[in-house]
């Protein structure tokens, strides 16, 4: 799994600036994605998520990174692949020899903005774990539920549905966006 991280401060303690400030900041770095930028703002403020379709190299990751920077949050990019497990994105419990106890390592979805790149390349099982987190605002790690930071916003991209190695999103899954 490949992951990128931009971390500002505690992701659960950010205050989202006014939309006009977000738009102004992002437009300094991103050109030609006005509709996606406005949809990102609306989705974030309404508690929704965004599904973006577009060819490679069209600026989807650039938009997500700069949007995150504009809101002062933490960014994670998750490259979705068929071998990605739900625990790769939600997190795991690991045994800590020094303390003699278990420690939870939260996965990359515990960010203010998570870019799920090529979401339809992930298996349905992994997609379900993501969709649970999107719907509930929490993720389950080893049977324990952990709240995602507020705000928590997912931007997913998908490749053409007919491409080899894809698992099409169902209508129910698309409704989460």
Mean pLDDT of 111-117: 91
Task: Using the structure block, give the residue that is written with the tokens 């933490």.
Answer: 74
In whole angstroms, give the CA distance from residue 12 to residue 56. 31
> Percent of the chain scored above 90 by pLDDT?
38
In whole angstroms, give the CA distance from residue 15 to residue 177. 23
Burial of residue 94 (CB within 10 Å: 0-12, 13-18, 19+) is exposed
Question: Which pLDDT does position 162 carry in this prediction?
Answer: 61
Q: Is the pLDDT of residue 160 over 90?
A: no
User: Who has greater pLDDT, 4 or 65?
Assistant: 65
Average pLDDT, the chain: 84
Element (H, E) at 65: helix 60-71
Ramachandran sector of residue 32 (left: φ over 0; alpha: ψ -120 to 50; beta: rest): left
In whole angstroms, give the CA distance from residue 94 to residue 170. 34
User: Who has greater pLDDT, 51 or 15?
Assistant: 51
Residue spans of the domains in the chain: they are: 3-174
User: Who has greater pLDDT, 3 or 98?
Assistant: 98
Mean pLDDT of 149-161: 83
In whole angstroms, give the CA distance from residue 64 to residue 5. 12
CB within 8 A of 83, min separation 6: which ones?
none
In whole angstroms, give the CA distance from residue 76 to residue 43. 18
Mean pLDDT of 30-34: 89
Mean pLDDT of 32-46: 90
In whole angstroms, give the CA distance from residue 109 to residue 29. 25
- Answer whether 68's CB lies under 8 Å from 10's CB: no
CATH number of the domain located at residue range(s) 3-174 in this protein? 3.40.50.300
Beta-strand ranges (E) seen in the chain are 3-6, 50-53, 75-79, 91-96, 101-106, 113-117, 138-141, 144-147, 153-158
Name the pTM for this structure: 0.80
């Amino acid at each position: 799994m490949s992951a990128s991280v931009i971390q500002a401060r505690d992701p659960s303690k950010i205050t989202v600036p006014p939309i006009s400030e977000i738009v102004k900041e992002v437009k300094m770095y991103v050109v030609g994605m006005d509709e996606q930028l406005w949809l990102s703002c609306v989705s974030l403020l309404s508690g929704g998520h965004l599904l973006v379709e577009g060819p490679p190299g069209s600026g989807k990751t650039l938009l997500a990174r700069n949007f995150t920077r504009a809101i002062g949050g933490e960014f994670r990019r998750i490259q979705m692949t068929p071998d990605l497990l739900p625990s790769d994105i939600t997190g795991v419990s690991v045994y800590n020899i020094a303390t003699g106890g278990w420690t939870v390592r939260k996965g990359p979805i515990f960010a203010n903005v998570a870019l799920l790149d090529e979401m339809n390349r992930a298996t349905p099982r992994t997609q379900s774990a993501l969709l649970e987190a999107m719907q509930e605002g929490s993720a389950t790690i080893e049977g324990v539920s952990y709240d995602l930071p507020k705000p928590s916003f997912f931007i997913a991209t998908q490749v053409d549905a007919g491409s080899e190695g894809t698992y099409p999103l169902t209508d129910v899954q698309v409704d989460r966006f």
